[in-house]
Structure 1
Amino acid sequence: MSFILPSLTYPYDALEPFFDEKTMKIHHTKHHQAYIDNANTALNDLPEFSNLSVIELIKKLNHLPDHKKNILRNNAGGHTNHSLFWKYLKKGTIPQGSLKDAIEHNFSSISSFKDHFEKTAMNRFGSGWIWLVKQHNMLSIVSTANQDNPLMGKDISGANGYPILGLDVWEHAYYLKYQNRRLDYIKSFWNVVNWDEVHIQFNQT
């Protein structure tokens, strides 16, 4: 079984003016596709792992041969992270219901949650991701380097929990529009969060 590029449920310009069409198209068809191609190549001679879903695979990185571990950590991780990311994007939704209650319980307010998320994103040196994760019915904000994902476990990614929202802070996600203005990009994210999908993930974990 080979990994394939998931189709977006919206056109590349659907998130304008916050996420621009050109970046979205390159991000999806070039960067994400490259992670998939590299992961598939690495799995060619690993039949015992080739039928796993990508999430099952990244949970078993420690079972991989040493010479395959890093390439699949990076590329299966990149495929996982981006597949989640596209689902988290949509204009015109707001946090509500049990998700809103949980955010307010864990962070005191939606505003406080956003401030914490933004500060964590700004403090991520270099490339990586910022996640809202659920663990033991609690929400927390964590950051992972490069293409690591909390599902890889704390020993590998430095974080635990099931990601229900994530933001890509690699420069390829924003540089064409925002150049070095990472904070502007991070703040624009709140205009395109698909809170309906986050709510679904929150209730399923």
Structure 2
Amino acid sequence: MKNVLIINGHQKYEEIAEGKLTQTFIDTAEEFFLKNNFEVKHSTVESDYDIKEELDKFSWADYILFQYPIYWMGVPWITKKYMDEIFSGGNGTVTFVNDGRSRSDSSKKYGSGGLMNDKKYMLSLTYNCPSNEFDNKDGFFDGLSLDEANIATHKTFQFCGAKPLETYAIHDIFKSDLDMKSELERFTNTLKRNFVK
């Protein structure tokens, strides 16, 4: 049986970002994982989490599903705080041992000192911007792909040795005609591709 940690990276803002959409994706993912014989644990960045307990979950997990909204082109600040505390807190034990370089071996490269080499992660993102802003040289992101626009989060996991799975994102979340049934189906199909071989 495989173990998956679902991280709720949402930060609440009254009447703007209540967290219901994030929770909908988390509930859908949990149902999917339980149906496919995964053990599931949860973490919530907007809580009184204990760093050691979080690191125990990271150590336990084979997979990490990181669900969060994009605020100002990145993770919410409380989510960045969580990442800083957990990834740094696991230095030498769970996340990384060093930056990978060695004075005695110049072939060892920066970013190769991770301890999470047996783990995979998936980003699941909620965006207000439309999907056509990505992979579009005339778009807001200057031709960057979705993953390239989220490089900081990917590089954090890469620094620790974890391997990426296909990213999911929902766009235009404030549109009145958002088709959640279709989006949840697309999300579930992404989960199938990533976690059921």
Q: TM-score, normalised by structure 2?
A: 0.30
Q: Which has the higher helix share?
A: 1
Q: Which has the higher strand share?
A: 2
Structure with larger RCO (C-alpha < 8 A, sep 6+): 1
